[in-house]
Structure 1
Amino acid sequence: MVMIIPLTLTIAGLLVLIYFLWSRRRFYKLILELPGPLGLPFLGSVPAYFLNNLKMIQRTKYMDKYGSTILTWIGTHPVILSRDPKIARDVLTSSKFLIRNWRVTSAMASIFGLGLVTLQGTAWNTRRKYLNASFKHNVLLSFIPIFNSKTRTLVTHMNTLVGQDEVYFLPHLLRWSLSVAYQTTLGIDVRDETNFKNNALIDSWQSLVKLIIIGIFMNVSQNKIVSKIIGWERRKAHVFSKINVLIDKIIDSKLNSHPEHNTNSVINRMIKLYRNGSISLEEVKGECYNMVLAGIDTTAVTLHHTLILLAMFPQYQDLVYEELKKVYPDSGDFEVEYEDLQKLVYLDRVLNETLRLIPSAGITVRNSNEDFLLSNKVLVPKGVAIIVDIFNIHRNKDYWGANAHTFNPDNFLPDNVRDRHPYAFIPFSKGRRNCIGSIKAGDMP
């Protein structure tokens, strides 16, 4: 009898393992169809990623070794990784890949709730259609006076730094970007707010980003009990105490006043949904968090990279300067009009080349909601995640040539753009779930 119990447990364990492996046989079939590193049992390639601080370099190493579309394992989960624009088009244009990876979205939702960035399925589709009105061309044109005013403030501040030693300029750009995001999204100028002046506001938003990153790589931190034990719940409450002072003030002001004439701003459209009983007050705040956070880092970091690249390549900086002098021959204080932007052709090429080499989002991750046949004839089973590696698509030598890693604005000459695969350049993603602010980013000063 004593011997039977261990034997029974062993057999039961083997049966459970066999069932587990059999239920995932379609995942393992991918090993025969796609090359890639098997990694370690139960860990996959996780150790390799953690040992390499620059995750994009590890992804590049894998694809240089195994091919442009490969299979990797994150723990026991199969993940397809691709730098092939054709595969990117398959994924980003298909209705079967509208679901963003749960690990990323759940980490974000656990921090600031549901909004356009974190919603899934039909809920996302409904919200996206509703908020599209906030990003129409005429609405964006109405922001030009705000952009002019904020840019003048930034230039004035930059002048105070002239003649000093080396300056790390990103914090200055983040403050500026936050100010722009608040006024265009929430309709408030934060210049005179105490938490803006003492940097508590921007520090709080940056702390949120760190909490999201922790949540992505340590999913257990999203559990309320675990979060309280390790102190992250208290840290999150402290961060939101700084952010919510202003957002609560804005929402209360909107609710206690008559509906505004400009009903197409993000905050006004969300308030309208709340008044109609379609969403809760927490969902209004969640969308505010989503939109403001999406606008702060992407704008500031891209401008920072552009300034660095122009400083590294003065020959291109000189060409940008000459074009600006041609469009604006009178130096000093002047207003930028939308029509002027259409004349800044070379500057546009420089910005695109910056986004090519250093996209604001290096990857986008999608999960298949049903089986899907890729253009390379690989059948992706339901539930498998695909990483569209934007960073490496933008440096794929098959599409960008032997000097794909070199900064060269001529990559965006009309003839070069015309001959290139349409999904070889996707800085704001593409397809049905592309960045809603891509028009704003591309067309505005």
Structure 2
Amino acid sequence: MFVQYLIVIVILLLIVDRWKPKKMMILHQQLGNDWAYYPIIGNAFSFIGNNEDLMTTFMKSSIQGFRRRYNAISFWLGNIFFVGINDADQAIIVLKSTLDKNFVHKFTKYLTGNGLVFAPVDIWHRRRKILAPSFASRYVSKFVTVFEAHAKIIAEELECKVGKGDFSCLEYVNRYALDSICETEFGMNMDMQRQPKHPFFNAFVENIQNIAARLCLPWLHIDAIYKLLPVYSRQEATKKIIYEFIDNLIYKKTELIKERDGIEDETDDLTDKSNIHMKSFLELMIENSKNTDKAYSHEELREETLILALAGTDTSAIGICFTILLLSQHSDIQERVYNEIQEILGDSDKPLQMEDLLKLKYTKAVINETLRLYPPVPFITRCCTEDLILPNGILVPKDSNVVVSIWGIHHNPLHWGDDVEDFNPDRFMSGQIPTAFMPFSHGPRNCVGYKYAMLSLTTTLVTLLRKYRFTPATNFKYDKNNPLRLSFAIMMKHVHGFTVQMEYRK
């Protein structure tokens, strides 16, 4: 009986595979790809493998697009149609006019729910209005002290690695980033940098890795199948740890807010309540949502704080790690950054100030060039709710999925010239940011926290480079002929964990 059912299912899938919308078939004939096509699974076989294989496939797809007439390709994952874009002008049209997230985000929503990044458009509109004011410069600039405090801790934690040979900086920076985001979100210091086995940190990392592994395998998209696998039990266990940790922080913080507000209401001489303390994102979200027709529920607060934890931790951490890795391979650029820091800040131990960080023009150029070569989020997906005509003349049919390759746009010679693969921060020294530079996405659904991420990146690098010099790992020299090995796990990462060596500057 089982065999008979299986035969029926296969026949039905074959029928479905042969029936595809005409507009999609026409576009696929125009664009196409270099991969093998198989009935039922389409081009999915090319996406099988580990995280490094997956990132390699994404990069190869972009290179395919560079060589094709329309600077784009198309492919099928099962019966789902995708258009891959590697051109900035096309990407801008897609990201401005197509706001609906594509179906693959449902796997991340398993953890984050309708948090801002993955929310449907109707929910996103309301939440963006509530959250965006929290990232205004007048609030974010106050976090410099938080970033610096935690950066000094990571500097202390790294002392055991000085002169001890190769080590991976990823875990150290990850814990720094998560400590920073927890304090700026909840106003509480979790001290995870000094607790390598913190259950929330480990559960958070594992859950995200498992989500990434599921994304490009169509047979794992079916919940009924996925729930039969051992990995699903692990996902449920780690999700429980994450939710309990976040819920506990929200309950604690909301009680503290009530107590503080009660004390302030009874104090007559406090005339300017806005400057009493540095407000956390949770406080700002609660305050801003009260000004709408419906205040945030506990579940909504959990969703948004989880999204901020995911985006704020990985974006900042991966950006810091790639910058450290590249500076270790380019000693001349590293010394130029250090000299700028010394010129602006000197040897003073006074706390970092926002105005000082804004003067570090070359340091910012180095960070931008790092984000160009190695954008933490290498691609973005959208689903077209209407037919869409791109600047190159192709028509993307309604219900098509579009993959905007940020990695591809940042490595497209048409935008950056023949030295596109060179690490050259001077290309960002003119003061004009090219339109083809979009590490934090583009359009209405761009990253609301990009100022936060850049401030965290800058503060951490300044703190570390004032104390340490980073040098290359043993027997490894990065260049165009020996590129970094990359993997994809929601964010783009270095296969070898950002391995470097380190020595004191003085």
TM-score, structure 2 normalization? 0.77
2:81 aligned counterpart, secondary structure: strand
Residue 230 (structure 1) aligns with? 229
What amino acid is aligned across from residue 399 of structure 2 in structure 1? G
Matched, 1:369 2:371: no
Is the Cα–Cα contact under 8 Å of residues 174 and 317 in structure 2 kept in the other structure? yes
Matched, 1:138 2:138: yes
**How do 1:94-133 residues align onto structure 2 when only pairs under 5 Å count?**
94=97, 97-103=98-104, 105-133=105-133
Q: 2-side partners of 1:315 and 1:379: how far apart?
A: 47
Is the Cα–Cα contact under 8 Å of residues 182 and 309 in structure 2 kept in the other structure? yes
**How do 1:30-179 residues align onto structure 2 when only pairs under 5 Å count?**
30-37=27-34, 39-40=36-37, 41-50=39-48, 52-53=53-54, 54-67=56-69, 68-94=71-97, 97-103=98-104, 105-179=105-179
Report the CA distance between 1:42 and its aligned residue.
3.0
What amino acid is aligned across from residue 342 of structure 2 in structure 1? K
Report the CA distance between 1:148 and its aligned residue.
1.7
1:432 aligned counterpart, secondary structure: coil
Q: 2-side partners of 1:391 and 1:305: how far apart?
A: 14
Residue 447 (structure 2) aligns with? 435
Structure 2 CA distance for partners of 1:200 and 1:375, relative to 1, 3 Å: same
Q: 1-side partners of 2:290 and 2:57: how far apart?
A: 41
2:73 aligned counterpart, secondary structure: strand
Is the Cα–Cα contact under 8 Å of residues 43 and 77 in structure 2 kept in the other structure? yes
- Of 287, 303, 311, which aligns to 1:286? 303
Structure 2 CA distance for partners of 1:312 and 1:231, relative to 1, 3 Å: same
Structure 2 CA distance for partners of 1:314 and 1:280, relative to 1, 3 Å: same
2:114 aligned counterpart, secondary structure: coil
Query: Which shows bigger deviation, 238-247 or 298-307?
Result: 238-247
Q: 2-side partners of 1:309 and 1:178: how far apart?
A: 23
Q: 1-side partners of 2:17 and 2:351: how far apart?
A: 68
What amino acid is aligned across from residue 432 of structure 1 in structure 2? P
Q: How many residues align?
A: 423
Task: Give structure 1 stretches of 5+ with no counterpart.
Answer: 1-9
Q: 2-side partners of 1:63 and 1:363: how far apart?
A: 14
Is the Cα–Cα contact under 8 Å of residues 113 and 303 in structure 2 kept in the other structure? yes
Q: 2-side partners of 1:87 and 1:238: how far apart?
A: 42
Structure 2 CA distance for partners of 1:334 and 1:216, relative to 1, 3 Å: same
2:403 aligned counterpart, secondary structure: strand
Q: 2-side partners of 1:57 and 1:218: how far apart?
A: 18
What amino acid is aligned across from residue 216 of structure 2 in structure 1? F
Report the CA distance between 1:111 and its aligned residue.
2.4
- Of 388, 393, 402, which aligns to 2:404? 388
1:160 aligned counterpart, secondary structure: helix
Residue 267 (structure 1) aligns with? 282
Q: 2-side partners of 1:344 and 1:358: how far apart?
A: 21
Is the Cα–Cα contact under 8 Å of residues 37 and 45 in structure 1 kept in the other structure? no
Report the CA distance between 1:55 and its aligned residue.
2.4
Q: 2-side partners of 1:428 and 1:63: how far apart?
A: 22
Residue 497 (structure 2) aligns with? none
Q: 1-side partners of 2:170 and 2:121: how far apart?
A: 35
Report the CA distance between 1:141 and its aligned residue.
1.3
Is the Cα–Cα contact under 8 Å of residues 290 and 296 in structure 2 kept in the other structure? yes
User: Deviations 1:350-369 (Å, cap 9, x if unpaired)?
Assistant: 00010000001101111111
1:377 aligned counterpart, secondary structure: coil
Report the CA distance between 1:192 and its aligned residue.
7.4
1:66 aligned counterpart, secondary structure: coil
Q: 2-side partners of 1:242 and 1:18: how far apart?
A: 41
Q: 2-side partners of 1:309 and 1:346: how far apart?
A: 15
Structure 2 CA distance for partners of 1:412 and 1:113, relative to 1, 3 Å: same
1:330 aligned counterpart, secondary structure: coil
Percent sequence identity over aligned pairs: 26
What amino acid is aligned across from residue 56 of structure 1 in structure 2? F
Q: 2-side partners of 1:430 and 1:190: how far apart?
A: 33
- Of 22, 25, 29, which aligns to 2:26? 29
TM-score, structure 1 normalization? 0.87
Query: Which shows bigger deviation, 280-289 or 203-212?
Result: 280-289
Report the CA distance between 1:258 and its aligned residue.
4.3
Query: Which shows bigger deviation, 233-242 or 162-171?
Result: 233-242
User: Deviations 1:159-212 (Å, cap 9, x if unpaired)?
Assistant: 332121211111111111110010112221101799x45332221111121122
Residue 208 (structure 2) aligns with? 209
2:180 aligned counterpart, secondary structure: helix
Residue 199 (structure 2) aligns with? 200
1:217 aligned counterpart, secondary structure: coil
Q: 1-side partners of 2:355 and 2:284: how far apart?
A: 28
- Of 335, 341, 353, which aligns to 1:337? 353
RMSD: 2.9
Residue 478 (structure 2) aligns with? none
Is the Cα–Cα contact under 8 Å of residues 181 and 309 in structure 2 kept in the other structure? yes
**How do 1:403-418 residues align onto structure 2 when only pairs under 5 Å count?**
403-414=419-430, 417=432
User: Deviations 1:273-303 (Å, cap 9, x if unpaired)?
Assistant: 4998655422321222111011111111111
Residue 254 (structure 1) aligns with? 253
Is the Cα–Cα contact under 8 Å of residues 37 and 71 in structure 1 kept in the other structure? no
Structure 2 CA distance for partners of 1:243 and 1:31, relative to 1, 3 Å: closer
Is the Cα–Cα contact under 8 Å of residues 254 and 271 in structure 1 kept in the other structure? no
Query: Which shows bigger deviation, 360-369 or 25-34?
Result: 25-34
Q: 2-side partners of 1:19 and 1:113: how far apart?
A: 31
Task: Give structure 2 stretches of 5+ with no counterpart.
Answer: 1-7, 262-272, 460-506
Residue 191 (structure 1) aligns with? 191
**How do 1:290-301 residues align onto structure 2 when only pairs under 5 Å count?**
290-301=307-318
Residue 495 (structure 2) aligns with? none
Structure 2 CA distance for partners of 1:371 and 1:347, relative to 1, 3 Å: same
Is the Cα–Cα contact under 8 Å of residues 107 and 216 in structure 1 kept in the other structure? yes
